[in-house]
């Protein structure tokens, strides 16, 4: 475990119980997101065998989610997709267009 991850864990354990205002909680969430991004970058530099093993563990951990956790994840995904539509980063495709594309692929 590297210094970044150790620091992350220490701050998470020490700070989370003390966060008693919305601003402190927001700051803590920003801290978590920034550290998740740092972990992602580190993981992407691991050898392929290590990345594959980690990916397998992460994927298998998703099987143990409760209905509430799954519902929450779908809500987050729906909000992400709605934001992409609102921001114009994706374009909507009509059902008719999707059907035409599928028919073209199947020919």
pLDDT tens per residue across span 24-39 = 666 666 666 667 778 8
CA 70 → CA 22, 63, 64, 101, distances in Å? 25, 10, 10, 31
Q: Tokens for 73? A: 């994840």
- The total number of structural domains in the chain stands at 1
Buried b / exposed e across 46-74, counting CB within 10 Å, b at 16+?
A: eeeeeeeeeeeeeeeeeeeeeeeeeeeee
pLDDT tens digits for range 55-89: 998 888 877 778 888 889 889 999 998 999 899 99
Total residue length of the chain? 107
Range of the structural domain that residue 45 is part of:
3-106
The pTM score is 0.39
């Amino acid at each position: 475990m590297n210094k970044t991850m150790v620091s992350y864990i220490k701050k998470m354990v020490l700070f989370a119980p003390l966060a008693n205002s919305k601003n402190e909680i927001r700051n803590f969430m920003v801290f978590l997101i920034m550290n998740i991004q740092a972990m992602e970058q580190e993981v992407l530099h691991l050898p392929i065998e290590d990345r594959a093993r980690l990916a397998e563990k992460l994927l298998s951990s998703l099987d143990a989610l409760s209905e509430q956790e799954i519902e929450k994840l779908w809500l987050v995904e729906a909000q992400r997709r709605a934001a992409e539509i609102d921001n114009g980063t994706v374009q909507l495709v009509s059902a008719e267009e999707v059907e035409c594309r599928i028919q073209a692929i199947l020919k």
